[in-house]
Amino acid sequence: MRHVVTNSWALLLGMAFIMLGNGLQGSLLGVRAMIEGFSVSVTGLVMSGYFLGLVAGSIIVPKIIRRVGHVRTFGALASLASVSILVHLVLIDPWVWWVMRVCTGFAYAGLYIVTESWLNDAAENETRGQLLSLYMLITLGGMAGGQFMLNISSPEDITLFILISVLVSIAVIPILISAARTPAFESTESVSVMQLFRVSPLGVFGIFGSGMASGSIFGVGAVFATRAGFSIREVSFFMGCLILGAILLQFPIGWLSDKLGRRKIIVLTCFLGALVFFALSASALRGGALYLLIALAGGLTLPLYSLCIAYTNDHLNASQMVAASGALVLANGLGASLGAPTTAFVMDFVGPEGFYQSIGFALTLICLFAVWRATRRQAIDLGQQGEFVAVAPTPLSAAFNPELELAELQAATGADPESVQASFEELIEDLDTQRGT
């Protein structure tokens, strides 16, 4: 582990600063929007811009990297992220804020891609699993830590906005002074969401649904807490506990899915998660009891993305995993961009408790769809499953899968597009002939 950290400390430190800023600004903008008098529905639309930008960045940024390189791309996008948060202070307008959220999402997508491609290049077969675990811990830990930074100053003044800008700007420094070599960036063949849906309906539907749930949590979670009358301290603890729950339960849930089967655990986590969210909507808990339950809710909900990725990858070979990663990110991003405004509309209609009800409903749909799919296709044998890997919703997530050797990934990255497409069509035909088994 020491060797891994020594080789990648600059990238990991830079990502820690980035995630602190990202975690803080989502909650800060939700609270500030309420202070500025934005309606809940308008705020939900504003916050959805981030996820649209994330999808756009995942598609466009790889082309920028191939043209100008990793360092320039990282510097330019960090500057964009740093400036966009400050514009919120200058122009208090929902449409301006929405555009800035799109810019922020675009910038963060690029920062993730640059960092992950660099980290993957620095890793070796025997260290990639450790590096992924450390990266995910920093990513989620930074997001959680950013929530508690909401207590540093009042959301009504400029301090927290400037702090976010500073954090993102500082993130560039360790990257620029790092002696790590710049990696080559290879383009990969991709498949459509509908192609992938024909291969793994539950995987794609689950990823879309988990995107709606996570988009609701990160998009309007702080808005809900503010509307429910929480203090700033309570808002920060509410959001922080949602993420801390995911940190604590991600790997136990993954371990169970390795032992019992992915589909069973998808059904179980969605059922229990929906139960917790609906119970919260019918209660008026505050303090420690609320934080405990909300941590459980986050722990059951946020790992769904990785769980559905693992379920989908169990049906694919190395080249297909790499080709499918972009479609999976697109499905998740579209779900997240719909989740925030949908939940906001529900909150406007039924009240703050609509936050819990909307997420509970999304989890219920995934659960029911998984139960239905169990009647349509037999689960694969446990021995044919790969090992669960916690991943982030980025186009390069497949490259971090420690189940794949570097040689397999390199071959998959350079695979002929026609052969990749042909392999998917063959897989779809094989699955169609097995339909009903």
The model's pLDDT over 180-198, given as tens digits with 9 standing for 90+, comes to 566 555 555 567 778 888 8
Rounded to whole angstroms, the Cα distance separating 183 from 243 reads: 32
State which fold the 11-433 domain adopts.
Answer: Growth Hormone; Chain: A; (1.20.1250)
Residues 124-147, mean pLDDT to the nearest whole number? 79
The least confident of 25-29, 67-71, 83-87, 351-355 is 67-71
For residue range 316-340, what is the model confidence (pLDDT) as tens digits? 766 666 667 778 888 899 999 999 9
The two tokens of residue 32 are: 């500030």
The two tokens of residue 117 are: 């491609």
Residues 7-19, mean pLDDT to the nearest whole number? 83
The two tokens of residue 337 are: 């961009």
For residue range 35-67, what is the model confidence (pLDDT) as tens digits? 999 999 999 999 999 999 999 998 888 888 888
195 touches 424 (CB < 8 A) = yes
Q: Which amino acid is at 200?
A: S
The two tokens of residue 123 are: 């890793």
Confidence category of residue 431, pLDDT binned at 50, 70, 90: low
Q: Per-residue pLDDT for 350 more than 60?
A: yes
The least confident of 192-206, 338-352, 403-417 is 403-417
Q: Per-residue pLDDT for 414 more than 80?
A: no
Residues 156-176, mean pLDDT to the nearest whole number? 89
The least confident of 37-46, 101-110, 129-138, 391-400 is 391-400
Model confidence, pTM? 0.88
Q: Per-residue pLDDT for 371 more than 50?
A: yes
Give pLDDT, residue 437. 41
Give pLDDT, residue 426. 62
Rounded to whole angstroms, the Cα distance separating 327 from 323 reads: 8
Rounded to whole angstroms, the Cα distance separating 298 from 140 reads: 12
Q: Per-residue pLDDT for 128 more than 80?
A: no
Rounded to whole angstroms, the Cα distance separating 90 from 427 reads: 53
Rounded to whole angstroms, the Cα distance separating 33 from 97 reads: 10
104 touches 113 (CB < 8 A) = no
Give pLDDT, residue 291. 94
Confidence category of residue 295, pLDDT binned at 50, 70, 90: very high
**In the block, residue with structure tokens 């699955």:** 431
Residues 272-279, mean pLDDT to the nearest whole number? 96
Identify the residue with better confidence: 106 or 283: 106
Q: Which residues contact 126 (CB under 8 A, 6 or more apart)?
A: none
For residue range 226-242, what is the model confidence (pLDDT) as tens digits? 999 999 999 999 999 99
